[in-house]
Structure 1
Amino acid sequence: MHRLILYCIALVWLANGLLCKVLALVPRHEAIVARILGPAHAGVLTRLIGLSEIGMALWVVSQIQRRWCALAQIGLILSMNLLEAWLAPDLLLWGHANAVFAALFCLLIYWHTFTAARLSPR
């Protein structure tokens, strides 16, 4: 179960990075980046963010510095969602309710890394 959750967390980063941003299958993501960082380079910046998210997926799966990885994920998720809710709430899939899903994902990452890991045999 521990590995399954690990791969699901990585899959969220991979799907958002590769499908939504690098391959631009969800144009709303580029619109959000344009709103927050400006339209001039929104396409390039969106793809760079996507590549970073793919990198995060690889970091999650590698389990190198698991706690730092979890803290980085939580920090990124909370800061991204705060910026989006403040500057582009009309572009979010669920509006301000996105914060609920972000918080639940952060709780899952925290629990998986700091609680469940101690309970799971290696």
Structure 2
Amino acid sequence: MLNVAIALPPLIVMRGAVAAVWLYEGLWCKVFGRAPHEAQVVANVPRFGPRFGQSFLKALGVVEVVLAGWVISGIYPGACAIVEVALLVVLNVNGLLWSRDIIPDPAGMIVKNIAFLVLAWACGAIPGR
């Protein structure tokens, strides 16, 4: 068997993949409201969700769209990766804490988000625009 490594994809492709996820999650799912399941998850947060859940979700969607732009811009990629990791960890922990019973596959969510964050971290570790 050959021990052959392949080259990384171009940095813009890696950043584009990460940005596309943030754009989809932010704009499509939250701002446009195409993922009602996410609203149910946020609504389960005590003293916050029932009153401010929809507003929070829309604002979070805007933040995610801005994050997509930051990722694709390549400006301060390390700081961007740290913000991505922090945001997704906070969202996942709160989702599991308050809404684990309505998340269809909590373990799958964690595994997929770890894989996504590894790619986001790689984008943050590679300098350049």
Greater CA drift, 31-40 or 16-25: 31-40
Deviation sequence 1:31-56 (CA, Å, 0-9, x none): 11111232112111110110111011
Which runs of 5 or more residues in structure 2 are unaligned? 1-9
2-side partners of 1:56 and 1:106: how far apart? 13
Deviation at 1:93, TM superposition (A): 4.1
What TM-score, normalized by structure 1, do the two folds share? Answer: 0.87
Show the counterpart of 1:20. 29
Q: 2:90 aligns to what?
A: 79
TM norm structure 2: 0.83
User: How many pairs were matched up?
Assistant: 118
1:2 deviates by: 1.5
* Alignment root-mean-square deviation, CA: 1.7
Distance in 2 (CA, whole Å) between partners of 1:2 and 1:93 is 33
Tell me, yes or no, if structure 1 residue 29 matches structure 2 residue 38.
Answer: yes
Alpha-carbon displacement from aligned partner over 1:8-32 (angstroms, at most 9, x marks no partner): 1001000000110000011011111
**Residue 47 (structure 1) aligned with residue 92 (structure 2):** no
Measured against aligned partners, the alpha-carbon deviations of 1:39-97 in whole angstroms (never above 9, x if no partner) come to: 11211111011011101111111111111001000111112111111211123242232
- For the residue of structure 1 that corresponds to 2:50, the secondary structure is coil
| % identical aligned pairs | 25
Q: 1:93 to 1:19 in 2, by over 3 A?
A: farther
Structure with max Cα Rg? 2
- Structure 1 residue runs of 4 or more that deviate by more than 3 Å after TM superposition: none
What letter matches 1:3 in structure 2? I
Q: The residue matched to 1:90 in structure 2 has which SS?
A: helix
**Closer/same/farther in 2, CA of residues 93 and 58 from structure 1, 3 Å limit:** farther
Structure having the higher helix fraction is 1
Q: Which residue of 2 aligns with 1:97?
A: 108
